[in-house]
Structure 1
Amino acid sequence: MNILQYGMQHVRRAAVLALSTFAHNKPNLIKGLLPELLPLLYDQTVVKQELIRTVDLGPFKHVVDDGLELRKAAFECVDTLLDSCLDQLNPSSFIVPYLKSGLDDHYDVKMPCHLILSKLADKCPSAVLAVLDSLVDPLQKTINFKPKIDAVKQEVDRNEDMIRSALRAIVSLNRISGGDCSLKFKNLLSEISKSPSLRDKYYSTRNE
């Protein structure tokens, strides 16, 4: 536990990966520890400004986020725990602020967060429904994001993958009974239906 609090980020990432392995293979060994471990795990999903640095590459400046891999591993660990230790988790304390923040993070973090949101919509719909309004903005931002005009094919393809990933989460949210109580979510669905590109992707995703 001390490692998750005080270790270097690569050590904390190794601890998170070990926790994921136990959660997948031997969940009974960690269930009793989860009340103490979960707050520490959730803290690893938060963007740490002190781990973000700018590297000067001559005429260019490149931003390096040394905490990215740790955040990604932490969310993937939560995803595993949802499958093996759901009865030990309190989804409400995780969705806001942690999952909400992850939905607005880097591509590598958003992807597992979309999967987590889909699972929560299926397994804990009431917890998701209670905060549905607050989840709309990051999803809307993701599906409307446009790469730069000079973006390379890899960047364009990654963005398309991210849009489809977000749309899968939106499809799952739309299956929740009572989801139409959220005006913001209804407006998001309306926006998707009015965009030929998004509408086609949405229905394609729904039929997967």
Structure 2
Amino acid sequence: MALARIAVHHKDANKKHSILNDLKTKIATPGNEVQASLALGELGKLLDLSTVANILNTVSALFKAPDESIRIAASISIGNISVGNPDFFLSKVFSLMDAAESSQKYLFLNTIREIIINNPKSLQQFIDKLLPLLIEQSKNQDEQIRSIVAENLGRLFIHYAVHMNSVLENSFRSPSALERATITKAFKYSSTKECNGHDLGYFTEYLIKMIGDADITVRRYALESLTAITHVHPEAVRNDSEAMQANALQMTRIDPSLIKEVDLGPFKHKIDDGIPIRKAAYALIDTMVERLPERMNSPMVTEVAIRGLEDTAEECMIQSLTLIHRMAAFAPIFVITQIEALIDSFNKQFTKNIGIVGTNDKAKNVMRSIIRVVEQLHRTPEIEGVTKFADFFKEKILDIPAAKDIFQNIATTAQRAVYSEHY
């Protein structure tokens, strides 16, 4: 990398040529292939290397290297070299891709990613050739490859939505769960300020439908993509927010069919495959409360969040507490209306965790999240006179040193945040 920077800024053309030749030599030297390939790519991103004879063939030869890290570095390098002069290199890159063995085609996914990140507009004339490759690889058994495909499709959608609509629609209907999951995940990468909200809104209905997909990975990706869209482009999901909210709330329930028991000999262990789905569902609801508060069924959201305190997974319980905290700030009256159930759940967690907060990180996370909600309610005018809360606050916060310390730290941080907002 240092050689690439030196070459770019060096005024002596001969010296630049010498550095370039040195990198080409190192590419063919065992042990130096990865570093030299990446350095050459960085150089090509900043300087036009179209006059260097056989530059693409030299680097692409590494696609046959036995070491996967070398192959990946070479594919990234070609992408960056292409950025330096896309008019010259891109047609050659796609010719290489067409001629490549089927086992090597996935390497071009890294090449394409580098081009999309640095110069997406340069791909316009190749989009019809590129999409079939991406769709083909969206069914690849390798999760890492599918992730790169999702990223590439998502980033391309920002600039080429019109060209991609029919292709994506077909993929949402694909019998392949891997393809459906990859396409669904792609919209996480489309959810940027650069993307047109109307383009994203066109696929909201498809993504909501994917929440009920038979495949649990598709469900999770649908929830995560909708969360990303809602955060950046809430207007894109506004018209479908009622259906989105209903589906997300349903996904917070524990699904017994997703819990399997594994026999480990002396004991049995339960594995809950539904945890990532529930966690993603809580995150989507929380984002909707933040970005589309007027569209939310606040009593129902609060009820579901409090029910989440009984979730057997710590990460889901923490997410439900995050949601309760937001509701306590946004619509405290609905939290106070259900204060009996909330305090009963808090008491259970205190009994279970307060004595071990000093030695158990899980207990500390749970107690801190609960006390964060308590602190928010404590400075809410509507809570005044609520006996159930007042008794809990005295017995469990003020009278227990460990809880009181956590409360005071949270309160101090909250006061600083309020002060900074006003000043």
1:175 to 379, 384, 388: 379
Matched, 1:99 2:308: no
Residue 74 of structure 1 corresponds to 281
Which whole-Å CA distance do the structure 2 matches of 1:184 and 1:113 have between them?
Answer: 21
Q: Structure 1-normalised TM-score? A: 0.89
Which whole-Å CA distance do the structure 1 matches of 2:395 and 2:350 have between them?
Answer: 11
- On the 8 A contact 2:252/2:278 being kept in 1, the answer is yes
Residue 419 of structure 2 corresponds to none
Describe the SS at the equivalent of 2:310. coil
Residue 236 of structure 2 corresponds to 29
2:368 to 152, 164, 177: 164
1:189 to 393, 401, 404: 393
Deviation at 1:184, TM superposition (A): 2.2
Describe the SS at the equivalent of 2:211. helix
Higher relative contact order (CA 8 A, sep 6+): 1
Describe the SS at the equivalent of 2:381. coil
Which whole-Å CA distance do the structure 2 matches of 1:7 and 1:188 have between them?
Answer: 43
Q: Which has the larger radius of gyration?
A: 2
- On the 8 A contact 2:332/2:382 being kept in 1, the answer is no
1:117 to 324, 343, 356: 324
How many pairs are equivalent?
204
Residue 144 of structure 1 corresponds to 351
* RMSD, aligned CA: 2.2
Describe the SS at the equivalent of 1:55. strand
Residue 38 of structure 2 corresponds to none
**Following superposition, which runs of at least 4 residues in structure 1 exceed 3 angstroms of deviation?**
146-149
Cα displacement string for residues 31-78 of structure 1 (whole angstroms, at most 9, x for unaligned residues): 000112211110000111121121111112111111111001110111
Q: Structure 2-normalised TM-score? A: 0.46
Which amino acid letter does the alignment assign opposite residue 156 of structure 1? N
The 1:28/1:92 distance shift into structure 2, 3 A limit, reads: same
Describe the SS at the equivalent of 2:352. coil
The 1:147/1:117 distance shift into structure 2, 3 A limit, reads: closer
2:407 to 198, 202, 205: 202
Matched, 1:130 2:331: no
- On the 8 A contact 2:354/2:367 being kept in 1, the answer is no
Residue 89 of structure 1 corresponds to 296
Which whole-Å CA distance do the structure 2 matches of 1:109 and 1:139 have between them?
Answer: 15
Which whole-Å CA distance do the structure 1 matches of 2:362 and 2:377 have between them?
Answer: 23
- On the 8 A contact 2:306/2:324 being kept in 1, the answer is no
% identical aligned pairs: 24
Which whole-Å CA distance do the structure 2 matches of 1:127 and 1:60 have between them?
Answer: 43
Residue ranges of structure 1 left out of the alignment (5+ in a row): none
Which amino acid letter does the alignment assign opposite residue 402 of structure 2? S
- On the 8 A contact 1:147/1:156 being kept in 2, the answer is no
1:42 to 249, 268, 275: 249
